[in-house]
Structure 1
Amino acid sequence: MRVDASGPEDNANAESSARRKNMVPWTERFSYSLSDFACNLSFSLISTYLMFFYTDVFGIGAAAVGTLFLVARIVDAFDGPFWGIMIDHTHTRWGKSRPYWLWFSIPFAVFSVLCFSAPDMSMGMKIVWAYVTYIGVDILYSAVNIPITSILPSLTSNPQERVTLSTIRQFMGTLGATIISAIALPMVAFFGKGSTTSAHGWFMVALIMAVIAMIIFFVVFANTKERVQTVQSKKSIPILTSLKALKKNWPWVIVIFINFIYWLGMQTRSQVTVYFFKYNMHDATLASFILSLQLVALAAVVVTPWTSKKIGKRNTMLLGMILAILGQLILWGGSKALNVPTITIGTIVGYLGTGFVSGLIAVMLADSVDYGEWKNGVRAEGIVTSFSSFSAKFGMGIGGAVTGIILSAGGYVANHVQTAEALRAIEMNYVWVPIIGFGLSAIALLFYKVDKIEPKMLADLDAKHARENAAAKDAGNN
């Protein structure tokens, strides 16, 4: 009979070795990255163009739209954590996070199309329609988007592999957003017989993108695997227990704040881009060109694993925030001179900065899952990462509300020559609100210290998991 003489230290060494070798195959890496590509095909269309669709196509006032976005964020205060708790209570043969792509991709696609439908009805019913369809797509977006982040700690326990996965995911996500930015208005004009305010044109674009996204989600479901399984992760975690993972989890608090304020600034800029070039620059077609420059962010995304390895994740993101602020200032100078080349340069610099930022948020949240377990003994991937979607959407919603309030206060009137006050309101949303968001994010990053303690944290978790697995094995043998 063979006697297993290995002890906890041997098990810890074996698990540490497994962590180093815990690499994800390229087929799975690419499939995982397609999740963000699919999300952005539909949701970037919504986040970038829905306000324009509501005001200039569907005929709803800017203030009413801003209120809608704010109300939707109140709903998000519940739906984000709800999906996180559901993930923590989900145990299927497919895993905890993967099934949500199978179950909710079709409903998400349906509501994505309904958002860009413009039925002929009274103004009151139009507002009701907008509330039902937008809040509906928002809830369903959480159902397919939160698993993208919650599954990351389960795909690999290798810290650098997480950066690689998140980088590839962000590359594809940015590519999806760039494609939408570049082709949405031309496609609308094509289906709308030359008009960018054609209701039929917007419906057709939303339909095409939703169908493509739905098919991609099925591919992601089929080709990913939740391979990191701890004793705790195989059990349903009571709600109160899962909330303990957030106790004194300061890295999580910082990342959630950054996710909120960063996306608030990004949303105000993206959703007034069409307004800015249509009214301030007198050429709406430039919006597609400027938005397509998101492609340059891919250069920063590609080098993010290298920079995070050399200078740390915190410093890489901080560099991104500084570049984003610099880009906005250059853009402002170009807007005052109505100089398109200067605006283009500022946009490129800004997108390089945001390329460093967006790829690391999910990695830092995955790290906060580890930190919560390290500090509090509770590993709750669902509840910890669910606040990523909540904070981002809350920031985007507040950004939408701020945009509507500023436009309304400036006297914006759709499809009319704008007053000087209205033009300044558009500029405020396009230039200065994003600068405030990037600046506050940079300040918050100064308090992020996980990079320094990560080696000890991971070593301690390796030992903890080895002890748990050994105990579970002994209990099984008995």
Structure 2
Amino acid sequence: MAMNEETLKRHTDSSASNQKLSLLEKVSYGLGDTASNLLFTVVTTYLTFYFTDVYGIKAAAVGTLLLIARIVDMLDSPIFGILIDKTNTKWGKSRPWILWSCIPFSIVVILLFMGPDLSDSGKLAYAYIFYIAANVLYTAVNNPLTTMLPSLTLDIQERTVANSFRMFGGQFGALLVNLTLLPLVAYFGGGDQQKGFFYTMTLFGVIGLIMFFITFLNTKERVQDINGTKSLALKDSIKAIKGNQPWIAGVLLGVVFFILYVMKLSSGIYYITYNLGKPGLVSLVNTLGTLTLVGIIAVPFLSKKFSKKKLIIIGMLINIIGQLIIYFGGQSTAILLTGVIVGAIGFGLPIGLLFALIADTVDYGEWKSGVRAQGLLASTASGIAIKLGSGLGGAIPAWLLAAGGYVANKPQTQSSLHMISLNFIWLPIILSILSILILAFLYKWEKPYNEIIAELEVRRAQ
């Protein structure tokens, strides 16, 4: 049915006015990612180092482990998405999964860092079992935050702000890790890093659980109430993917983004320790890396004037500038820290917008196909992005280290130092450029977003 401009405006305004989120709900939503990152930042940032330098697994084996585990784990994202679409409870579709999954997730991550004394093959098997389990349970507890976003509100600005609270919460969790992890490991371990990691992760696990419960109790799935809560058949969910080019572009962008993100996180400790010979700077550099918070805070204000697409491109360009500053700074600590700060602030824009961009494709899929499948679309997109991207982001640096002849806790050869530099500086630049190209040439809509939302509201009213 054709709709005139007045009808579109009336339905858009009605949607916005009825779906404002309270500050408590936004903060509670953000705490879900704080809890996730309090535990999983240790995995993405320190696990490679932990496996190679603390638990004693060879770098090449670690690289293969990280990729295989992530590929296996990637299969669980569409499964959880389908399960979320089929879930029908008084709490909604996404929220109950946070409640059901947070306790086993916390326990498994703690056990991942327990480090039992086993043979070399036994250590590798232990690492495979608990790393895969941690990834699966991370999907179960974190993907609902993504699938919940399009259900919190149809107001695009409110959704962007809520996602900014989430990303701020996630980066705050990362900040807590980078500020406290190594000091706590030293405190609890008393010289025994293995013991220190285990007790620190136990503490993080308890704190994370409290935050997960707050998220569950103080959020609400409003759009679910508009559309109805009945289960959605798989064949209907798949219809929302057909012809959804923005969703495909979002998946590709997410994969490249997480390769870049995890590669920078995991390789920084090697670059600072071996290329610069300044291991004491690791905690400071990782802490400054959480200045992505500045970019994230700016997102709600900038998004009023600029599209998500433009802001992400700007953020990637700023990140490239930061990488080049680090390279040209050589051994200078001051220039290194300057480059880290510049890159982190720029990186905050895509961090603050990626999942909101993916959430928008749920609306596009419903407009295109008549099916609202937030579980399958949001969960699969974020799952493929996080799992495949993070897997490659952890595996590629480890493989390059092995190819360069890296030997843990020893002076490194020029070949090894070159590979570390490639991991930390040059590949992130290349991946930033690739992200820009994906957005410029693949992320396209047939009509403005507000018109699509207005049409959806009219369909529901009818």
- TM-score normalised per structure 2: 0.95
Residue 142 of structure 1, CA deviation: 0.1
Find the partner of 1:320 among 312, 315, 318.
315
Alignment of 1:7-86 (within 5 A): 13=10, 16-86=13-83
Structure ID, larger Rg = 1
Q: Which runs of 5+ in 1 are unaligned?
A: 1-8, 468-478
What are the superposed Cα offsets for residues 270-318 of structure 1, whole Å, 9 maximum, x if unpaired?
1121111221122212010001013422221111112111121111111
> 1:369 aligned to 2:362?
yes
Mapping of residues 274-423 of structure 1, within 5 Å = 274-334=269-329, 337-386=330-379, 387-423=381-417
Task: Provide the rounded CA distance (Å) in 2 between the counterparts of 1:30 and 1:115.
Answer: 29
Deviation at 1:170, TM superposition (A): 1.1
- Given residue 180 of structure 1, which amino acid in structure 2 is its aligned partner? V
Task: Give 1:206 shift.
Answer: 1.1
Retained in 1: the 8 A contact 2:59–2:399? Answer: yes
Do the aligned partners of 1:16 and 1:462 also contact (CA within 8 Å) in 2?
no
Task: Tell me, in whole angstroms, the C-alpha distance in 2 between the residues paired with 1:396 and 1:205.
Answer: 23
Question: In the alignment, residue 445 of structure 1 is paired with which amino acid?
Answer: L
Aligned residue in 2 for 1:151: 148
TM-score between the two structures when normalised by the length of structure 1: 0.92
1:10, CA displacement in angstroms?
A: 8.2
Aligned match of 2:3? none
Secondary structure of 1:272's partner?
helix
SS at match of 2:405: coil
State the Cα distance separating 1:330 from its structure 2 match.
1.0
Aligned to 1:200: 195
Q: For residues 294 and 207 of structure 1, do their structure 2 counterparts lie closer, same or farther at Cα, with a shift above 3 Å needed? A: same
Question: How far apart are 1:451 and its partner, in Å?
Answer: 9.6
Opposite residue 273 of structure 1, the aligned amino acid is: G
| C-alpha distance after superposition, 1:40-78 (max 9, x if no partner) | 000001110011000001100011011111111221231
Q: How does 1:436-455 map to 2 (within 5 A)?
A: 436-447=430-441, 448-450=443-445, 453-455=448-450
| Cα distance, 1:67–1:77 mapped onto 2, change above 3 Å | same
Residues in 1 aligned to 2:35 and 2:333: alpha-carbon distance in whole angstroms: 31
Which residue identity lines up with residue 28 of structure 2 in the other structure? S
Following TM superposition, by how much is the alpha carbon of 1:449 offset from its aligned partner in structure 2, in angstroms? 3.0
CA distance in 1, matches of 2:238, 2:419: 41
Report SS of the residue matched to 1:23. Answer: coil
| Contact 2:74-2:383 at 8 Å conserved across structures | no
Asked if structure 1 preserves the Cα contact closer than 8 Å seen for 2:8 and 2:455, the reply is no
- Structure 2 regions of 5+ residues with no counterpart? 1-5
Assess, with a 3 A threshold, how the Cα gap between structure 1 residues 351 and 446 changes in structure 2: closer, same or farther: same
In the alignment, does 2:249 pair up with 1:248?
no
The equivalent of 1:215 in structure 2 is: 210
Contact 2:172 2:290 in 1 (8 A): yes
Name the count of aligned residue pairs.
Answer: 455
Q: Is the 8 A contact 1:233 1:379 kept in 2?
A: no
2:127 paired residue among 115, 130, 135 = 130
In 2: Cα distance, 1:81 partner to 1:56 partner: 35
- In 2, Cα distance between equivalents of 1:128 and 1:69: 13
